[in-house]
Structure formats: C-alpha cells, structure tokens
Amino acid sequence: MQPEARSIAVQISYRPPFPVQEMFGFLAARAVKGVEEGDMHYYRRALTLANGAGVVTVRQGTPHTLSCTFLLDDSRDLAVAVRKVERLFDTGAEPSAITDALGGDRLIGHEVVSNPGRRVPGHVDGSELAIRAILGQQVSIDAARSLAARLSLLHGRQLATPVGTVCQEFPSAAAIAALGEDDVPVPRARARALVELAGALTRGLCLDPPADNDAVEQQLLAIAGIGPWTVAYVRMRALGDRDAFLASDLGVRRALEQLGEYGGVRQARDLAERWRPYRAYALQYLWSIASRARVQKDVTGAVGRGKSVPRPT
C-alpha cells in the first residue's frame, strides 16, 4: 500500500524587489489544465520527482519570501522539489545588479527603473518546457494550453492525491516517444519534431541545469522542426541562461516598434548586444512593453467601435 503523501511547508527567500504577482500572472496564463492552476495570488502544479509525485502550492509569504506547501509522495524528494521552485521563480536573481546594468539604457532604462526586480520565469522540468514549446509553435498561448492539456489527459499519470484541480503529472518523455505522429494533435511536421525530441530525451539529452548550453543548442537544432526561437526559449526557461534572447519573437518586434525602433530579427539581435549579460531580463521588460501596448490598442479599438470599456478601480 502506498504511504500517505506528506505535507511540508517551506519558506524560500529572495532578494527584493520582486513583483511576485506578475510572475503568478505569467504562470497562470500558461497553466495546463489538470497539471497546473493559479491566478495573480498563487500558483500550484504537479511535480515529477525521483521517488514519486508531488504537488507544490506557492504564495507570497512574509516579506522577501515565497510560502510553499509541498505535498510529496516521498519526503526524500523535498530538497530537489525546493530547487525546482527556486529555478521556476528565479529566486537567485540580483535585482540591483540587473538595474545597474540596464537602468541607464536609452530604450528600456525607464521601464527597468520604474519596475525593478522582474524575474525570468524558469521551469520545474526542462523536458516538459521543451515539449510545450514545440506544441506552442505558431499558435496562441490559449491554443498551446489546450494542446498540452489534451496530451496530459491522455498520457499523463494520475496523482494519488489531487490538490484543487491539479490531478495529473505532465506526460513523461518516454510516454511521448512511444506515440506515433498521428497520436499527437498537431500538424505532422510538428508531431514528428515532438516525438523525435522525446526520443532524444529518453536517450540522455538533459534540459535541466547544469548542462552545456551550447552543446544542447546544437542537439536541439539538429532536430527538424526546432528553430532558433524554440532553442532560445529552452535556454532561457529550462537551462537558466540569463543571457538568452529571442530576437525573432513577435513580442520583441512589437516592443521595439513601440519604442521607435525597427523590429527586424537582425536589428533586434544587434540592439540586444548592449544588454549582455542580462538579455533575458531585458526581454522581460520588452514583453511588458509589448503587452501594455497591446492592451492599449485593444482598449482604443473598443472605444472606437463604441463599446463600453471597464475603468480601473
């Protein structure tokens, strides 16, 4: 008989400032039904660990801490589970160093100084992140969530002890590698890339730190259907490369155009050189600028069409 899961409370500290609600919002917007849930005030997800499964719930704790509750099949996995959450929330970041490096920049400096402490969202499982990145190619965030939820429902292991709506693990690389291309609900070329990636993961490709990021990049690029955007995204969120930059990202292009710059890939890459070694943090500020501009455009368009727009309270 399987032992009862054990609940363990842990406080994880970080260096202030840290707009934690922004991170909760980012994760909630991408949460896969059954595997994750959350809103602007908390985040919960399933964990796949060496000795069993687990669920972690993260909230804002006392000043400068994240309050985490781990429900683990085996308490021996606690230390690894804590490190996964630390990577996910980038708790090792040094906001003062990032602000010093980026705060004087003519393009994003004002954004950095006005909103210090933004983190780079990491992930608890590099394999899952890479698989979801392929699922999300050329589709919206909501569509990517739906595809990942369908894949998880069909091929993820059920949790012995669900918490909230979190009831299953994300499918393992081995489970996905065993699928045929017709079993994955995406276009054939993307399904082929997904199955091939999963096979590489089962053969030893490691997408969690510490890893040789450049070697991993070459291995990923050798898989047909995986391009520079996906590789940079994996480097940033899975491997913890804080100098990764997504030059071809649509949000980057929109942000640069909002700032009066041409947003082409080459131009974005050249501009980003001056943000080294914190280009991944610069990217978070560009995404924020693009998001704000998109919201403003939506509001302006709604007003122009004579629709009522809610006012902030």
List Cα–Cα distances, 301 to 45, 295, 307, 308, 309, in angstroms: 36, 10, 9, 11, 10
Q: Say how far apart CA 25 and CA 40 lie, in whole Å.
A: 5
Q: Tokens 């292991």 identify what position?
A: 157
Q: What's the maximum distance between 2 C-alpha atoms anywhere in the chain?
A: 64
Cis peptide before 277 (omega within 30 of 0): yes
Residue 214 among the catalytic residues: no
**Distant-in-sequence, close-in-space partners of 195: CB < 8 Å, separation ≥ 6:** 176, 177, 179, 180, 181, 184
CA atoms within 13 A on the CB side of 207: 32
| Torsional sign, CA 84, 89, 90, 92 | negative
Instruction: Give the DSSP H or E segment for 159.
Output: strand 158-163
Structure tokens at 160: 């012995």
**230 by DSSP, 3-state: which?**
helix
* Catalytic residue (one of 73, 90, 241, 249): 249
Catalytically annotated residues: 249
